[in-house]
Amino acid sequence: MKNHGAKKLNIAIIGAGKIGSAIAVSLQNHYNVVATRRRKIKDNLINGTIPVTRDNRQAASNADIIIVTVKPGQIIRVLQNIKDEVKGKPVISFAAAIPISMLKKAAPESQIIRAMTNIAVMAQSSYTVYAFSDNVTDENKKIAVEIFSKFGASREVDEKYIDAMTALSGSGPAYLYTVIEALTYGGLLIGLPRDIAMEAVAHTFIGTAKLLLSSKNHPAELKDMVVTPGGVTIEGIYELEDSRVRTAMMKAISAAFKKSKIIAEDIQKDSMKLLEE
């Protein structure tokens, strides 16, 4: 990529649905962003400042970096249609299930970066994991990491872990919202007003996560700081253990991972047919 100096980079977000739109909003103050949608409902996205087009090729042609947030079953066709416009450019794919090897076949002269984030990107507090194809330049790696930093925390991983991270971190907010809802109902059960109960639970989650990351302690060590002999917390822990909450969580993640592998196999079969056409 050319050295742009202080000039803002141009980023095209192909397929701006919920995640794509959130990514666009996270990046708009730092880069020149344009988004594409098959159905261009209006000329500008969300807050009226991000231009929207239906022309993927034009958007990709004018961009320094292309971020693709279409559904997994659509990404091969999308990349095939813009492969000439993304030659030599970094292309960041957020499509689950489709490996770098297949993405490179669809756009062989681009620099592929495969990533996975979660819905918390809407609050710039997501956790994004990513892997690079072997032809991504050091400069473009730095640019990609800088982009991911606008979404929240991020980490490079071996590509083989991305599907597992989809089941854990990508789906994770749904599990945690279920827990938050349950704890809020617990607050209602003991007489707390709904708004106070929900606010208390949300801030408890935030504080707990921050302490875990900052202390570097094992969760069990931090939990033991709260549990005292014959106290209130141990009564609650006893009920949780009796209900096998930890087992249920582990089974949920395992089931989600198994399902993701089944879906991935089907999507990859269909995608291979497109690549062989």
Domain of 99, CATH number, reads 3.40.50.720
Statement to judge: residues 135 and 33 lie in one domain: yes
Cα–Cα distances (Å) from 35 to 25, 40, 46, 89, 129, in that order, read 10, 10, 11, 17, 22
* pLDDT tier for residue 89 given thresholds of 50, 70 and 90: very high
Residues 19 and 118 in one domain: yes
Q: What is residue 186's three-state secondary structure?
A: helix
Reported confidence tier of residue 7, pLDDT bands at 50, 70, 90:
confident
Q: Encode pLDDT of 63-72 as tens digits.
A: 999 999 999 9
Does residue 7 or residue 47 have the better pLDDT?
7
Residues 46 and 63 in one domain: yes
103 and 190 part of one domain: no
Name, in order, each residue with C-beta under 8 angstroms of 198's C-beta and a sequence gap of 6 or more. 180, 184, 187
154 and 181 belong to one structural domain: no
The torsion angles phi and psi of 218, rounded to 5 degrees, stand at: -70, 145
- Across the beta sheet with 152-156, what order do the strands follow? 44-45, 50-53, 32-36, 10-14, 65-68, 90-93, 111-116, 126-132, 152-156
pLDDT at 45 over 90: no
Q: Residue type at 171?
A: S
* Residue 182 belongs to domain with CATH number: 1.10.3730.10
Per the structure, the count of domains in the chain is 2
Which domain does 115 fall in, by range? Answer: 10-165
This prediction has a pTM of: 0.91
- Is 2 a domain residue? no
Quick one: pLDDT at residue 3?
47
- CA nearest neighbour of 13 among 115, 107, 93: 93
Burial 145-156 (b: 16+ CB within 10 A, else e): eebbebbbebeb
- The residues, any chain, with a CB within 8 Å of residue 105's CB and separated by 6 or more, are 275
Report the chain's mean pLDDT, rounded to a whole number.
94
- CA gap 101, 268 in Å, rounded: 11
Q: What is the pLDDT of residues 129-141, one digit of tens each?
A: 999 999 999 999 9
Is pLDDT of 44 > 80? no
Query: 192 and 237: one domain?
Result: yes
Where among 165, 194, 213 does a domain terminate? 165
Q: Are strands 10-14 and 32-36 parallel, antiparallel or unpaired?
A: parallel
Residues 135 and 116 in one domain: yes
48-52, 121-125, 248-252, 269-273: which has the minimum mean pLDDT?
Answer: 48-52
- For residue 243, the tally of other CB atoms under 10 A from its CB is 10
Q: How far is CA 271 from CA 65, 80, 82, 242, 274, in A?
A: 23, 11, 16, 46, 5
Report pLDDT for 49: 81
Residue 150: which pLDDT band, with cuts at 50, 70 and 90? very high
User: Do 91 and 76 contact (CB within 8 A), yes or no?
Assistant: no
Residue 105: exposed, middle, or buried by beta-carbon count in 10 A (0-12, 13-18, 19+)?
A: middle
- Count Cα atoms within 13 angstroms, Cβ side, for 92: 25
pLDDT at 194: 98
Residue 277's pLDDT is 81
Q: How high is the pLDDT of residue 41? A: 59
